[in-house]
Every structure is written in C-alpha cells, then in structure tokens.
Amino acid sequence: MNDTDYDIRDLKLADQGKNRIEWALQEMPVLRELTTRFSKTQPLKGIRMSGCLHITTETANLARTLKAAGAKLVLCASNPLSTQDDVAAALVKHYAIPVYAIRGETTDTYYQHINAALDHQPVITMDDGADLVSEIHKHRTELLPTMMGGTEETTTGVIRLRAMAKDGALRFPVIAVNDAMTKHLFDNRYGTGQSTLDGVIRATNILIAGKTLTIIGYGWCGRGIAMRAKGHGANVIIIEVEPLRALEAAMDGYRVMTLLEAARQSDFIITATGDKHVIDQAHLDVMKDGCVLANSGHFNVEINIPALEAMSISKHRPRPSVDEYTLNDGRKLRLLAEGRLVNLAAAEGHPSAVMDMSFANQVLCAIHLVSQPQKLENQVHNVPAEIDQEVARLKLDAMNIQIDSLTKEQQSYLSSWQEGT
C-alpha cells in the first residue's frame, strides 16, 4: 500500500493494535463463523466499499470479515474522538486495509477523510451516523449512478436517512441495521449500558454508589445505562418526553421528573436522546456544584456546550477526558469527552461480544444488497427477518445454548382461531 493510501497517527502502533484486535476476536464467534463461510463463497468479490465507522478493535474484525468475503474496503472514522490509533495502524500494516482516521482530528480533517474514503468510489457505503450518505448526496453526486446501496449502524443515522427518504431526497437504498432486533436490543442496551458507565468511571474515577445519576432519554441506550447505573448503587432519575417511555421508567422503579427539577440534585447527568440541546442554559443555571455531564448520544449537540462556554469564567483539564468549567457564580461543572460519545471517547466503546451481532448484521446486509436481482427501491429498508433470525441462531450456538422448538400440534394451535375454552 502507498503511504498516500491512508492517513493515520503512527504506523509504529500497529503491533499493539493487532494484539488488541485478536483479543476482541475471541469474543466475536459469529463474525468468525461468517469469515469461514464467506472466504470460501466470496459473495462480495470485487465490491468496492467505504465504511465510516468508529475505528475500534471490533470494527477491525468486521473489516477483516468483509475483506475475506472479497470486498475492496477502505475505512474512515465516524467521530473525531473515537478512533483507536493503534487499531488504525494495525489495519493498514497487518491487514492491508486503508484507513483515514486520527484520534482528535479537526472537523476539517474529519471531512477530508470522509472524502478520501469516497475517492475509493464505493458502490456500497457502511455508515454510523449517515455521514457518507449525506456527503455523497451533498457534494459527491458523481458517485450516485453506480451506488448499489448502503447500510446504517445507529439510531441517529436512521433518523437522518428516514428524513431524506420522506423528502424524496434519498437516491439509493439503505438498510437500517440499527433497527434489527439483534442490533438495538443488545448493542444499544447492553453495549451502551456497560460502556457508558465504563467511560464515566475511567474519566472521573468518582464512586457511583450513593450518588444521584440522571439519564436523559429512556430509549434503548438510556434503559441500558439506567440498568447498569442502578447496579452500581446510584439513585437513578429518568427524564423523558415520551409518556409511554416515562411510564415504563417509573414502573421499572426509577424516579421520573423534569430536568429542571433533576438538575438541582444530580451528581451526574448523562444524555442519550439523539436530540439537540437537551441540557440547555436553563438547566446549567441550576445545576449542583461539581455535577458531571456526559453524552452517549451520537452527536456532540445534546449538551449546549456554547452556552456552558459563555457562562464560564475559566476552564481547565484536571484529567484527560474531563474539562472543569468554573462559572461566574463560582460553581464548577465537569464536562466529559467534550460532549462526544463518552463510551467511545473515554473508554473503548461497546464490548466485542455485543458488536459481534451488530456487525454480523452489517456483513449479511451488505451481501443482501449486492445479491438482489434488481436494485432495491431508494428507501430506508428494514433488515430482512431471516437475517435477524440467523444472527440470533448463530449467537445462541456460539453461546452453547439450545432452545426448544414448537411441536406440530403447537404450530397448528398457534396459527388457528377455532380452538377456545
């Protein structure tokens, strides 16, 4: 590979990255199975793909599976702060997969890297946040005629894509991998749950037990974070705008109230909504001295950071992922990871075992896109149910869990309406 074919921090980090990628692979039995299967059948042979994903050990293993299936793949980062530089180096040096990603890159470099990945002329995109799809539609329309489709990893990306499809603006089909059951039920809940707490703890090393911890958003991510925070002994408060989800949180045993009320008593506040400025000036105004703020939603807009900056008289960095703001009334507020996904910026992202299922969906959906006799409609498509079932079956096999199946009598009973009391 030429050194113009990649842009990473330091190739010398490659051996450390390789060790960590191999370590993660031990927890990814479904991807291992798909690699064995598809290295023989080569369903992606010669397919040009660009992936805009968090450059982590798990993504490296996804990339290896896609390459083994025959894809010609390049990668760029889906967030300026989530890249693991040793993984990027290992992908280039040990697995010959071009990567354009440097942890801490500026927004300009971030977009240069997205464009470098698009210079590869993909026919399939794999996004986490829809940045490739969005860039192709805005500035790289020359790629549209040859596009076969894309896949999308996260809730926020799916929301953006559905908005494009609704406006008739989407010019190629995209599969919403996030919406597969074997993705969001596990990745968003158990993955974000564990890794968000991991990020907060690594960043601060503050004891969670006995503290008041507020979570904004009781979706799949919020539920997972709440469950894990409760396990750590926190007094958990949930903030929601959806009545059903607020009710569910209340019946799950959490306190539910408005953010204005919670802000006054919280030691930690974590956002997981996919929404903008959910923590706004009015909430910052009443927060308790010392409150820790973190975000686990996709973009760094959930906390109104410009407002926080404007009301501060100074800011310093006591620990690597902590910015302590001193406000003009003397209170201190601590922002983690510059408001970016705390689980990826201050920890290592989701555990491999959960990404195993998300990325198995990615592989099977990419194959689904290229194996259609006719291009799918230019819409956001659900993951086919057979793929979801297949991923669940493979994961259960790998976990050595056997389950029962319906008898003939039960199948007929469950599909009939005649039988009653």
Chain residues that interact with ligand NAD, rule: CB under 6 A: 154-156, 184, 188, 192, 216-222, 239-242, 245, 272-275, 278, 296-298, 341, 343-344
Closer Cβ to ligand NAD, 116 or 341, answer by number: 341
Tokens, residue 192: 């974000």
CB of 267 to ligand NAD, least distance (A): 19
Q: Which residues pair with 268 in a beta bridge?
A: 213, 292
CB of 221 to ligand NAD, least distance (A): 3
Closer Cβ to ligand NAD, 45 or 276, answer by number: 276
Q: Which residues pair with 176 in a beta bridge?
A: 152, 382
Closer Cβ to ligand NAD, 264 or 316, answer by number: 264
CB 332 within 8 A of CB 287: no
φ/ψ of 83, rounded to 5, equals -70, 135
Closer Cβ to ligand NAD, 39 or 258, answer by number: 258
CB of 128 to ligand NAD, least distance (A): 8
Closer Cβ to ligand NAD, 148 or 341, answer by number: 341
Dihedral Cα 212, 217, 223, 228, nearest 10 deg: -30
CB of 286 to ligand NAD, least distance (A): 16
Instruction: Give the distance between the most distant pair of CA atoms in the chain.
Output: 74
φ/ψ of 240, rounded to 5, equals -140, 160
Between CA 48 and CA 71 the distance in angstroms is 6
Query: Residues for the chain: how many in total?
Result: 421
CB of 153 to ligand NAD, least distance (A): 8
Closer Cβ to ligand NAD, 303 or 367, answer by number: 303
Between CA 294 and CA 89 the distance in angstroms is 29
Closer Cβ to ligand NAD, 184 or 381, answer by number: 184
CB of 174 to ligand NAD, least distance (A): 15
Between CA 298 and CA 386 the distance in angstroms is 28
Closer Cβ to ligand NAD, 7 or 348, answer by number: 348
Between CA 295 and CA 85 the distance in angstroms is 22
Strands 174-176 and 149-152: parallel
Between CA 93 and CA 248 the distance in angstroms is 49
Name the strands in the sheet holding 312-319, side by side, starting at the edge strand that comes first in the sequence.
255-256, 235-239, 212-216, 268-271, 292-295, 332-336, 322-327, 312-319
CB of 410 to ligand NAD, least distance (A): 33
CB of 3 to ligand NAD, least distance (A): 31
